Structure 1
Amino acid sequence: MAFEEKRAWALAVISVVGYALYVVLVVNGAAGRPLVNAPYVTPMLWTIGLGVVAGIVSGIWFGIAARNDGLQADERDREIGRIADNIGQSFVVIGGVSAMALAMIEAPHFWIANVLYLCFVLSAVLGSLAKIALYQRGML
């Protein structure tokens, strides 16, 4: 398995686990109240921060392992990364447009922040899955 494919798996797992943890924290924090009134800022900041740190640590870990094995990124790795990033970025655009629409209808900040967070997570997961698929099935 290529170094970049391992990183893609790690990023997908980190993203899903981090977002699931966030949802659990917010739902538990609601304690029977409407979700809009649940404290969400602190759990969001912590899960995003921990996700970033976990992504960096896993990248360093797989980078050291790849270097020890004498592996280097080649042109194919860079092309797969570019294509997968373009695919994943679609959800960043969807999130931005959705947040703008929510702001225009003056939705609560809770929903605006959460649609952005969800779309960032979906972007990371979709980009990672695209990278994994390109490594396993090849490019056309």
Structure 2
Amino acid sequence: MSSILDIREETVSYEEKGTWVFLVVAITGYGVYLALVLPQLAAGTAIDDVDYAGPMLWTIGGAIVAAIIGRIVLEIVSPSETRSPDVRDREIDRLGDRVGNSFVVIGALAALALAMLQVHWFWIANAVYLCFVLSAVLLSITKLVAYRKGVPTW
């Protein structure tokens, strides 16, 4: 007999936890990058003198390390029942990748167009980085929605 007061504990898969970590790290890493670069632009630093390559490489590298550490810490705090993806996890992963890859393509096309227009490499690099971040955010949100609502059937 179940009552209205019964609390059903919902299990979160290993893959879903990883998606949450990926989303938080992508947003945080890009936020750190912007916090390092935007003040230079706001101060009127010439584009040629803006130090962006170092911060970009460090935030990308830092995001990779943070994602690994975040995943390990999350598993220590809240261990998953299994680490093997099931059919649902694989379907959700494919859906998220298809949706997220659209921004990788958009970033490549933006970089190509900017290069053809001979725009400063600062803007080309930032367009690519922004599209990588948007890809990560979009694919993460798509996966998280699919975990809650199910994979749509077209």
TM above 0.5: yes
Mapped pair 1:81 → 2:117: no
> What does residue 23 of structure 1 align with?
34
**Partner residue of 2:147 out of 132, 135, 138:** 135
Distance 1:35 1:90, change over 3 A: farther
Q: List runs of 5+ in structure 1 lacking aligned partners.
A: none
- DSSP 3-state at the match of 2:51: coil
> What does residue 59 of structure 1 align with?
71
- Residue deviations 1:24-53, cap 9 Å, x none? 100223461246231101100100000011
Q: List runs of 5+ in structure 2 lacking aligned partners.
A: 1-11
Greater helix share, structure number: 1
Match of 1:26, as an amino acid? V
Larger Rg: 2
Correspondence 1:57-136 to 2 at 5 A:
57-62=69-74, 65-66=79-80, 69-70=81-82, 72-136=84-148
Q: TM-score, normalised by structure 1?
A: 0.90
Q: TM-score, normalised by structure 2?
A: 0.82
Runs of 4+ in structure 1 off by over 3 angstroms are 59-64
Mapped pair 1:33 → 2:49: no
RMSD: 1.7
Match of 1:108, as an amino acid? H
Mapped pair 1:46 → 2:61: no
> What number of residue pairs does the alignment pair up?
138
Match of 1:27, as an amino acid? L
Deviates further, 57-66 or 102-111 = 57-66
> What does residue 24 of structure 2 align with?
13
Within 1, Cα distance between the matches of 2:123 and 2:38?
Answer: 14
Within 2, Cα distance between the matches of 1:59 and 1:122?
Answer: 21
Within 1, Cα distance between the matches of 2:41 and 2:85?
Answer: 46
Mapped pair 1:2 → 2:10: no
Percent identity over the alignment is 46
